[in-house]
Amino acid sequence: MKTLLTSDQIHEEVSRLGKQISLEYENRPLTILGVLTGSIVFLADLIRNIDIPLRVGLIQASSYRGTSTKAGTLNISADLLPEIKGRDVILIDDIFDTGNTLHGIMELVQEKNPNSLKSAVLLWKEDRQEIDLTPDYHSFKIPNEFVVGYGLDYNDDYRHLPYIATLEEAEL
C-alpha cells in the first residue's frame, strides 16, 4: 500500500471546503446529503467545518460489491432521504470515478424539487469519467488507481485509515 494523500492534506482541504460552503450558503436553507457508505468519514469531517445551520441526510448507492474493482449495476435507496423540497442541497460523495453514481443520484434528488442542487466529492479520477458532469466542488484530482482509506474500502476493509492509499495489484 502506498500513501497518496496524507491525513494532514485531507484535513486542510476539508477545512477549506467547509469554509467555502459556509460563505456561499450563509442565510440559506442548506441540506447536506451523504452517499453511504464511502462518504461517511468525509461527511462527518466536512459538516464539522461548516459553521452555518444545516440538515444532514443520507442516501445509499452502490455499484461495487466485495472484491470487485469494477463498477456493476447502480443501486440507489432513498429511504433515509429527508424532506429537501425548497432547500439548497449539496450531495457529498467520496469519489467521482465514471460519474454514473453521481449522475444517477442527482437525477433522483432533483425529482424531490430542491431549491438548488450541487455536488461535492473528495476525489476525482478525471481519466475514468464517462458522464458529461463536473462536480461543483472537488478536493483532489487523483490518478486512475484503486484507492482506499478515509471511508473508501476494498471488500469492506481499509475504511478506517485516516489517509488515502493506493493498493498494489498483489493486494487486490
Confidence tier at 60 by pLDDT (50, 70, 90) = confident
Task: List pLDDT tens digits, range 46-59.
Answer: 999 999 999 999 99
Q: How far is CA 73 from the centre of its chain?
A: 18
Using pLDDT thresholds of 50, 70 and 90, give the confidence band for residue 75. Answer: confident
User: Which class for 49: exposed (0-12), middle (13-18), buried (19 or more C-beta within 10 A)?
Assistant: middle
pLDDT at 139: 94
Phi/psi of residue 26, each to 5°?
-55, 135
Indicate the CATH number for domain 2-171.
3.40.50.2020
101-148 confidence digits (pLDDT tens) = 899 999 999 999 999 999 999 999 988 889 999 999 999 999 999 999
What confidence score (pLDDT) does residue 65 get?
Answer: 52
- Rounded Cα distance between 147 and 3, Å, is 9
User: In sequence order, which residues have a C-beta less than 8 Å from that of residue 134 and are 6 or more positions away?
Assistant: none
157 in catalytic set: no
Is the confidence at residue 64, as pLDDT, over 70? no
Domain residue extents for the chain: 2-171
pLDDT at 126: 87
- The pTM assigned to this predicted structure is 0.89
Lowest-pLDDT range, 13-22, 68-77, 153-162? 68-77
Percent of the chain at pLDDT > 70 equals 92
**Active-site residue identified among 45, 88, 94, 97:** 97
